Amino acid sequence: MLVFTRRRHETIMIGDGIEVRVLRVGKDGVRLGVTAPAHVQVHRKEIYDQICEANRLAAQSAGTDGLGLALQRLRAGTAGGRDGGA
């Protein structure tokens, strides 16, 4: 782990496009501002963990139910509601 000491209004750069700025330091915590490209998702760790868990559960249920259903449709020739190209 890389550890930084920064004061208010000082920044840390991650790569070429992500800037983390110390906005405020108080007795209860530090307020950070993050500037990142639109394609980079930025989340608090607890939110990120919830997203990962939801994705894991969705993949698990798709793997058992959704994948089996899609395979059945493909075998039956009714995938995606197409009617043979008409």
Burial state string for 38-61 with b = 16 or more CB within 10 A and e = fewer than 16: eeeeeeeeeeeeeeeeeeeeeeee
Cα separation, 31 vs 6, whole angstroms: 12
Ordered mean pLDDT values, 10 residues apiece, the chain (86 residues): 95 96 95 96 94 86 64 68 50
Q: What was the pLDDT predicted at 63? A: 57
pTM: 0.63
Shortest CA distance to 38 belongs to which of 14, 18, 54?
18
Q: What was the pLDDT predicted at 57? A: 83
Shortest CA distance to 32 belongs to which of 7, 57, 3, 64?
7
Q: What was the pLDDT predicted at 77? A: 73
Q: What was the pLDDT predicted at 64? A: 59
